[in-house]
Every structure is written in structure tokens, then in C-alpha cells.
Amino acid sequence: MKIVTYDSLQAEHAWMIVSDQLQQRNNMLAKSISHMERNQNELPMASRLIILRYHLKMSLRQLTQDARQQKQKIERKNQLAEQWMHVHQLFFLLRQIDNELGRATVENNILRSWLESVEGRVYRSALVHLN
């Protein structure tokens, strides 16, 4: 039987927020890749974004797998700490993706102007929710 506490609900809420943010970044990367692939001159940037998206997916898969394995091994009293550790790992991945995407937009005017046109609708910061 799993005991639900306010602290565990907070951790679950933080996990939902950071997961949503990572999914938004994945979608944004997919759309950015499609946009960049339309122009032959932008294929190197599209390749860079593909690698970034691959890093996001593989890191997320590994973190999730690790969390599932840990969940079976940990004691109930350490469960909340493990939950928060997983949230913070996901948040670190989110920041890595944002940093790399930010670098790419500084280097590429076409990507920057396209992202600015869609950014207001999709690209929110999770910092407010996780701090």
C-alpha cells in the first residue's frame, strides 16, 4: 500500500511539470528540424538539432529506466528523496537542452527568427514551478 503525503504530491507535481517541459522541447526540436531541413543550406543546423533531440530521448530513457530500477530497491522512507532526485535530474536535462538550443539560436538567424515566431505559444520555463 502506497501512502500519499503532501510532500509526495509536490514531488509528483514537479515531475509532471518537468516531464511536460521536456515533451515540449522534444516537439519544438522536431518542428525546428523540419523547418531547417527545408533549406539545403541549413542542413548542418538540422543535423545538430537531430543530435540534440537524440540526446534528449536517450537521456530521458536512461533516467527513466534508472528510476524504475531504483524504485524497486529503495525503502519507503527514502522514496521521496529518490523522487526528488529524479525530478532534479530531469530538470538538469531540461536546462542542458535549453542551453544547447539557445546556443544554436545565437549562431543561426533563420532558426532564431523561426523560434521567436512560435516561442510565445510553446516555450515556457519550468524554473518558476520547480524553485
Write down the domain spans for the chain.
Answer: 15-129
Query: Residue 57 has what pLDDT?
Result: 94
- Sequential pLDDT tens for the chain (131 residues): 567 889 889 999 999 999 999 999 999 999 999 999 999 999 999 999 999 999 999 999 998 888 877 766 666 668 888 889 999 999 999 999 999 999 999 999 999 999 888 865 544 444 444 44
pTM: 0.81
List b or e across 67-87, with b for residues whose CB sees 16 or more CB atoms inside 10 angstroms. beeeeeeeeeeebeebbbebb
